[in-house]
Amino acid sequence: MDLSKLKAFVVVAEELNFRKSAEILGMSQPPLTRLIASFEDELGTALFERTTRQVKLTGAGVFLLKEGKEILSRAQGLESEIRALGKMKTGKISIAFSSTGFLANLPKIIREFQDRFPKIKIELQQETRAAIVKGLKSGRFDVGFLEGSLRDENFQFHSVQDENLGVLLPKNHPLSKRKEIELKELSDETIILHPKKDNKDFYETISYLFVQAGIKPLTYVKKDHEICPLLVATGKGVSLTIAATQNFAPAETRFVPIKKLYLPVSVFWENENTNASLKTFLSFVVENHALSNGKPECLMDVMRL
């Protein structure tokens, strides 16, 4: 089907006046009349009923007007998309993430960004929080997905998700049947923690929360080769974590949310980073994934103290 003829038909079908339609299309009336007649011959059916006084659509004309407008709209959109692909931005961006940052919204963000900007190469690297901060400062990484905040004026951030903080328990634990608990109910538990060197802010925040709750539970700092969910499953203690952890935790464990505690996951970048692809990525995140406001009782507020 000739789209130029379809476009002319749509104009005439909406105006039901050949003279006015010719003016809109920037042509004289006789060529327009011949074009419509040729279009009808190609389709093998009349699209208009013409009299000396009026022009009306036939049943086929009514149908083609509706479908034709959709075809033209789609064709215009397709043309714009093709042109955009031809002018597509190219480049590279290095993204680092902590285990918590990955468990949040990162896979969805990366997938959608790659669909929109396929010529921008993405390099992904999982690191500890300390290594990510160091890499952002050195320029090794362009952005980092991290839980909590960074107490450093050299960084900016956008929050992309507020994760409900909870506790991973052995399945047979008395609290495992609860829908949610309060932090003070963990006073008699052994809390499994990552080493302070791996995530100083989170370590200190958890300690602060225990003080605020008026409890002083025992703690076990895991060794580098140990995995928190497995330690929980074997009865070594319980672990403060986010809900997504239960997706890969052993079947012998259960996640229970802690009432009114949320852990923000944000994308961070260094102020002086001039990578053009970084600007494209950040604009995409702000437009499609940034949170307008965090939850009021959020660990970010604690982690900024």
| pLDDT tens column, 260-298 | 888 778 889 999 998 988 989 999 988 888 765 444 344
Average pLDDT in the 149-163 region? 81
Indicate if the pLDDT at residue 151 is higher than 80. Answer: no
**Helix and strand element counts for the chain (H, E):** 11, 10
pLDDT for 303: 42
d(CA 105, CA 116): 17
Q: For residue 168, name the pLDDT band (cuts at 50, 70, 90).
A: very high
pLDDT for 101: 55
Q: Give the model confidence (pLDDT) of 253-262 as tens digits.
A: 999 999 988 8
Cross-strand partners of 97? 126, 145
| CATH, range 91-300 | 3.40.190.290
d(CA 93, CA 141): 8
> What is the rounded radius of gyration, in angstroms, for the C-alpha atoms of the chain?
31
Q: Give the model confidence (pLDDT) of 196-227 as tens digits.
A: 877 776 777 788 888 888 888 888 988 877 88
d(CA 110, CA 95): 10
Q: Give the model confidence (pLDDT) of 43-79 as tens digits.
A: 999 999 988 788 899 999 999 999 989 998 888 888 7
In this prediction the pTM is: 0.56
- Of 96-100, 112-116, 230-234, minimum mean pLDDT range: 96-100
How many Å is the maximal CA-CA distance in the chain?
96
Average pLDDT in the 183-187 region? 92
Token pair 């011949």: residue: 34
Q: Which residue, 166, 187, 182, 181, is CA-closest to 253?
A: 166
pLDDT for 301: 45
Letter string b/e over residues 38-52, b meaning 16 or more CB atoms within 10 A of that residue's CB: ebbeeeeeebbeeee
| All structural domains of the chain with their residue ranges | 3-86, 91-300
Average pLDDT in the 152-170 region? 86
| CATH, range 3-86 | 1.10.10.10
Can you tell me whether residue 256 is helix, strand or coil?
A: strand
d(CA 11, CA 27): 12
pLDDT for 260: 84
- Higher per-residue pLDDT: 81 or 167: 167
Indicate if the pLDDT at residue 33 is higher than 60. Answer: yes
